Amino acid sequence: MSVEMSDDPQATPRAIEGRAPDVFRPGGWVPMRCHRDEDAVDFVIVGTGAGGGTLACKLAEYGFSVVALDAGPYFRPLEDFASDESEQTKLYWTDDRISDGANPLQLGSNNSGKAVGGSTVHFAMVSLRFRPEWFKSRTLLGYGADWPIDWREMWNYYTEVEQALKISGPITYPWGPKRPRYPYRAHPLNAAARVLAKGCEALGVSWTETPLATLSAPRGLAHPCVYRGFCVAGCSTNAKQSALVTWIPRALAAGAEIRDLAMVGRIEVDDDDLVSGVHYHRGGRWHFQRARNVVVAGYAIETPRLLLNSATDRHRDGLANSSGLVGKNLMTQSNQAVWGLMDDEIRSYKGPPSLAITEHWNYQDKGKDFFGGYAYMSQGPLPQLWANTLAQARGLWGARLVEEMTNYNHVAGLKIVGEMLPQERNRVTLADEVDQYGLRIPRVTYSWCDNDRRLIDHSLAFMTRALEAAGAKDIWTQDDDTCHLNGTARMGDDPRASVVDADCRSWDIPNLWICDGSVFPTVGGVNPSLTIQAIACRTADRIRAMARRGELTGQRATGTRTAAHATSASS
């Protein structure tokens, strides 16, 4: 009863005393199994986004005891989300960070979230599979690094995630190997999407409806999409199939505990070089949760930051860092756009922002002067974002900005998600400054390479032609935007050249795992969340298989370490 004192999810934790918010009912609650700090649980997971949320669900369903901590609040979208861009900045990770390099990243809204559900709470729902060759891009395409996973295995995990999120997509997908039918049908195209389609048809390349993680028909208590376009400010209808309304409720039902407003500051390592739990800040003080395994899933900046911040005398460079690669090979994705004005009203903000897509340049290798690929999609910026874009990218202000805003309803745009190459100089390190918890803040260093630039130039030239062909006038290019964060703890076959193995298990510490966008060796030209979730599903299956064979006891199957911690997994 004392829990009713404050219901500000950003001020007071909600998931306490045996219950967690019911995301489907205003003011509602669901029961939650709780663990005591001193009881070692099978898995502590740091972060509840695409990686952590998915893994928490799957591991709990496999019978492991799970506590998943998130630094962010536990929202009920139906009552906590406003149709107001400014209000919804509460979804972003805006803690202090230093951003530098030749092309410093703009951190916050377009790349990181802080909430139970992680960045998926305000992501744009585009749910794409990798091109199969990208899993072996070094061997097959001559750039980047190979993944230690076969694409055919990933194909099955993609299917699992698409089913779990009831992805709505086209009946037939024009590119890549056959995939099963999407569980829900594609959404109706808005006028902005039809501009993309017209451009593609004029230039003779395929296009299709974008597979999206938002409902085109009801699902349980979640409503179908209402096409109001607030997606990247948080979806207040629950149509968006974020981790918050999909994996997390399943995780709770399966017995996982979620702790909101719980910032993990350090992972504890014992004298046997095994992790034993995490120190986390919640309700104004530090706690220590004991665990047999720790999974880090804080996304590509917070994950390496936590590993680096957990350095000890025996692990001076941070945990899992014998390769020296923790924090390195950070990859964002190019997010350049071409904008123009159409004679007809477009009202591009009606509906999810990216209803139509072409992956032509992901699958076509001829005619490229660069490695990698890009997809481009139709756009639907909300007014405040659009005014910001005009101010920043075109330097408009005052009367000129106001005048340009009167064209808002006629704007159509095409925007890429482009592959950037992994470079060790693009990295996350620790700055000397500390944040509100007294933890050293991350320094994010980013510079494009020539290949990145060539890809961007190619895309801008192609999209300009496409937009012209669709009948747009006053075309201009926005050439500095980036989105998504990956890398910084890459997976691989070689302990000297990677941080984790194919199972997301760290090479150095067998009961420390990393399961989020950080493990990507390359990013490809598609948005990453479907792949992150597929990896998490695979990791859960691998963990279950290892537990059954007794290989989770702090020991690798082929390793020489002595067992120190037994896992009590029941499955």
Partner 1 sequence: MSNDTDWLVGAGLALSAIAATAMLQPRPRTSPSPAPARLPPRTGPHPRASVRAARRLNRAAGMLAASVLADSSVEHYRGSFKNKAMVTPLAVSALTLAMSAHGTADRRPWAHRLRDGSYLLAAATGLIGTGFHVYNVTKKVGGFSWQNLFYGAPLGAPMAILLSGLLGFCSERVRDTSRARRPHVFGLPAARTIAAVTAAGLLGTSGEAGLLHFRGAFHNPFMAVPVTLPPLGAALLFNAAARDPDDDATRAHPLTRAWMWLLAAMGFIGIGFHAYGVSRNMGGWRNWSQNILAGPPLPAPPSFTGLALAGLAALGLMREHPDA
Ligand X SMILES: Cc1cc2nc3c(=O)[nH]c(=O)nc-3n(C[C@H](O)[C@H](O)[C@H](O)COP(=O)(O)OP(=O)(O)OC[C@H]3O[C@@H](n4cnc5c(N)ncnc54)[C@H](O)[C@@H]3O)c2cc1C
By the criterion CB under 8 A, which residues form the site for partner 1?
166, 168, 170-171, 183-186, 188-189, 194, 197-198, 201, 209, 216-219, 223-224, 226, 237, 239
DSSP label at residue 140: I
536 binds ligand SF4 per the rule CB under 6 A: no
- Asked if residue 500 binds ligand X (CB under 6 A), the reply is no
Based on CB atoms, which residue is closest to ligand X, 112 or 555?
A: 112
Specify the pairing of strand 275-282 against strand 41-46. Answer: unpaired
Binding mask 530-549 for ligand X (x = CB under 6 A): x-x-----------------
Considering the complex, what minimum distance in angstroms separates the CB of residue 161 from partner 1?
17
> SS3 for 367?
coil
For residue 50, give both structure tokens: 């695409």
Contacts 24+ apart (CB under 8 A), 226-229: 227/187, 227/188, 227/190, 227/350, 227/351, 227/352, 228/83, 228/350, 228/351, 229/349, 229/350, 229/351, 229/352, 229/353, 229/380, 229/382
- Selected from 33, 136, 185, 228, the binder of ligand SF4 by CB under 6 A is 228
How large is the angle between the packed helices 529-548 and 50-61, nearest 10 degrees? 30
For residues 218 and 288, give the distance between their C-alpha atoms in angstroms, rounded to a whole number: 41
- Interaction partner, residue 103 (ligand X, partner 1, ligand SF4, none; CB < 5-8 Å by kind): none
Which residues on adjacent β-strands are paired with residue 334? Answer: 418, 482
Q: Draw the binding track, 326-365, toward ligand SF4 (x: CB under 6 A; -: no contact).
A: -------------------------xx-------------
491 within 8 A of 502, measured Cβ to Cβ: yes
Taking the C-alpha atoms of residue 274 and residue 281, their distance in angstroms, rounded to an integer, is: 22
From 33-41, 179-187, 266-274, 295-303, give the range in contact with ligand X by CB under 6 A: 295-303
φ, ψ for residue 165, nearest 5 deg: -100, 5
Residue 235 interaction partner, one of ligand SF4, partner 1, ligand X, none, beta carbon < 5-8 Å per kind: ligand SF4
Between 124 and 192, CB nearer to ligand X: 124
Q: How many helices (H) and strands (E) does the chain have?
A: 11, 22
Q: Single out the segment in contact with ligand X by CB under 6 A; choices: 67-75, 192-200, 491-499, 553-561.
A: 67-75
Q: Which does 352 bind (CB under 5 to 8 A by kind): ligand X, partner 1, ligand SF4, none?
A: ligand SF4
* Residue in 214, 216, 336, 348 binding ligand SF4, rule: CB under 6 A: 214
Name the one range near ligand SF4 by CB under 6 A: 157-165, 222-230, 449-457, 459-467. 222-230
Q: Tell me how far CA of residue 571 lies from CA of 59, 118, 543, 550, 553, in angstroms.
A: 10, 28, 11, 11, 15
**Among 110-118, 198-206, 218-226, 448-456, which window interacts with ligand X (CB under 6 A)?**
110-118
What amino acid is encoded at 414 in this protein?
L
Beta strands, E only, 328-426: 331-334, 337-341, 356-358, 374-378, 411-418
Q: Between residues 105 and 222, which has the closer beta carbon with respect to ligand SF4?
A: 222
Query: Of partner 1, ligand X, ligand SF4, none, which one sits near residue 529, judging by CB under 5 to 8 A according to partner kind?
Result: ligand X
Position among 73, 77, 277, 298 found at the interface with ligand X (CB under 6 A): 298
Using rule CB under 6 A, residue 415 touches ligand SF4: no
- Decide: is 76 part of the binding site for ligand SF4 (CB under 6 A): no
State the Cα–Cα distance between residues 306 and 260, nearest whole angstrom. Answer: 18
- Of 542, 543, 530, 536, the closest CA to residue 569 belongs to 543
User: Where do contacts with ligand SF4 occur on this chain (CB under 6 A)?
Assistant: 214, 225-231, 235, 237, 239-240, 351-352
User: Where do contacts with ligand X occur on this chain (CB under 6 A)?
Assistant: 46-52, 69-72, 110-115, 118-120, 122-126, 232, 263-264, 297-299, 302, 306, 484, 516-517, 527-530, 532
